[in-house]
Amino acid sequence: MMAGIWPFKKQAAEPEGPKIVEYDGSEDTASETLADRSHVEDAQYKAALDLLTDPHLGAPEGGEAVGKVVVELDGSESSNFEKSDDGYYYRKNSDGSFDPNPHTINDDGTFSPYTA
């Protein structure tokens, strides 16, 4: 038994070369683009900028930032704790980063790691 003729033909591949891109370099469009500052007055732009300056301590629903609470411990360990909007306190390291472990504040003002 012999196989039939294949009904489909092989298509030639398109040449892959650099594609030509043309730009309009007129001074009119460049100056118009640079002069357009409408995005700066946009409310969504301002809200995004506020979130970028203080990302995890802001309240995006109300549009008002939540106040920071910084508590310094007395004693040999000099640590700063800041209250986050989730209700827990996080230790701020000397380099500005935060310890990922949440802490709770006790009645006497000391902090203890959160346990579930």
Residue 39 belongs to some domain of the structure = no
Total number of domains constituting the chain: 1
Residue 114 belongs to some domain of the structure = yes
Q: What pLDDT does 36 receive? A: 81
Residue 15 belongs to some domain of the structure = no
Side-chain-facing half-sphere of 16: CA atoms under 13 Å = 1
* pLDDT tens figures, 59-110: 555 555 556 666 555 543 436 888 888 888 888 888 888 888 888 888 888 8
Comparison of pLDDT for 72 and 11, the residue scoring more? 11
pTM, entire model: 0.33
Q: What pLDDT does 69 receive? A: 61
Q: Provide the residue range defining the domain that includes 88.
A: 65-116
* pLDDT tens figures, 29-45: 777 777 888 878 888 88
The CA–CA distances, whole Å, from 41 to 22, 26, 46, 68, 94 equal 32, 27, 7, 27, 36
Residue 47 belongs to some domain of the structure = no
Residue 76 belongs to some domain of the structure = yes
